[in-house]
Chain A
């Protein structure tokens, strides 16, 4: 079989961009970006995607100095990359997903889950397992693991500590729930990137990854149950009331319906934009019908008092007259969409850098090395895809950025063995989601740590001793670890594997 592997690497497209130092130098912009991302996020501890934009811009600028001949070809490759459908599709899906997620948050979805936890009356031993389930539920609904981590570290974490639950285990359970949703939710940014970059429909990808997520989640649930009973209980802080009673609202649970509308519609083959639109419409309707929030929480025009129409329109529920200098637009639709702007710019630039690497033959050169020397079998290819994604995500704090950077490799290595789009997308996303919430420098861990640290100022009984260090939580993010294990086992055993000849993933309908 080795002989054929070598034959397979011949007969490819001739590079159209020439670089000093050979074709691998066409990968300079992406390589520079990865180094920048590691430096910024892991070493400097700055988890800000805006900073990454500068990293990829500088990578593209410095990369140009290695290009031979007229630089206009290099510049044109940037434009070619940015106009790839892969970027446009991800961007549109993100904007819709952002609006939906924020509208669910505005509609007190979290408070609904708090009510559920309070009503079920679990003791400190089972609280981590319950927290895992509820965090997974929220993350699957709103698609953002970071948002889930912040919400749960702010509400459930102090409530669990007040019950006497082991805080390290509890933080691990919150992060594990975030991993679950980040991986499975059709509105998750990483799900969208995984599907779009592997030419697969989002609904199909979600339905197809259910098996891996379920196996890892069930095992995690058992582990949280066992660990909850065996790990020493923390001392119950004096002065801590049952916090869950103060922030609960059963009405928020109606958004389980909004969430299901999106999931069912996407899996039934509706375009993701259509599926989210139905979910968004339902969420807005529920919010207003059940008084979960005001119109202004969804959309608000803040008109300056000097505007001629200010007084005439002030009666409208989505208008507020404000002092000059405070004007603007706000609400969940606004903040949900705006929240994705840095990532949108980043994906455009990364896809441009990937295009330069494709045109410069860098991908081909790397692929040749991988296929001739390392990857000899489909089992080896899938193992490389799992470990490659995991390593890049372990290094780059912001997991969506890491996913975009590794996605072209996953696509090309997978297609060399005709592994179909669903399987490729699932390998890519599971290991992206998992590794984004485990290590002390991971974005998910850092946002959770920041939220937990802020509790000292909020509750008098919550002391520095209750804060969980990011360095101590990594062994307890069970769902994250188990997803990686499930995929390694799946690569070795062929569990869930599908080839292009078995079933071709439906391409995401372009916008």
Chain B
């Protein structure tokens, strides 16, 4: 029943598995390592070979590695979506 969706407690540090494809917003760019960042809760994903212009854009990415103990991972860019809010 649609009313009872998400009656649950969600972790601050979501976990991803290798090969998983997800949609998310790019949230920053690390100039030192030239890597696009996507923060999901308190988990950080680093998206390789992606432009800093993609910050704030909605992306589709595939998880290439994930370290659950540090809540960090890497991903590759698959697609960029158009968004139209603030």
Contacts and interface: CB of A to CB of B under 8 A. Distances in A.
Interface of A: 1, 4, 7-13, 84-86, 197-199, 207-208, 210-211, 267, 354, 358, 363, 377-379, 407-408, 411-412, 415-419, 493-502, 504, 507
A407 B52 contact: no
Nearest to B41: A378
A123 B16 CA distance: 56
A198 B11 CA distance: 22
A494 B9 contact: yes
A392 B20 CA distance: 40
Interface string B9-34: 11110101000001111011111100
A418 B6 contact: no
Contacts of A10: 28-31
Q: Please tell me the size bucket of the interface on B.
A: 35 or more
B84 A11 contact: no
A342 B81 CA distance: 34
B55 interface: yes
A499 B85 contact: no
A7 B86 contact: no
B41 A499 contact: yes
A1 B10 contact: no
A77 to B, nearest CB: 14
Contact of B2 (A86, A207, A507): A207
A501 B39 contact: no
A11 B4 contact: no
B28 A11 contact: yes
B5 interface: yes
A267 B40 CA distance: 27
A9 B39 CA distance: 11
Contacts of B14: 499, 501-502
A411 B28 contact: no
B86 A411 contact: yes
B40 A86 contact: no
B3 A502 contact: no
B23 A4 contact: no
User: Top 9 nearest A-B pairs by Cβ distance?
Assistant: A11-B29, A8-B28, A497-B10, A408-B86, A11-B52, A501-B22, A378-B41, A418-B40, A199-B85
B38 interface: yes
A340 B3 CA distance: 30
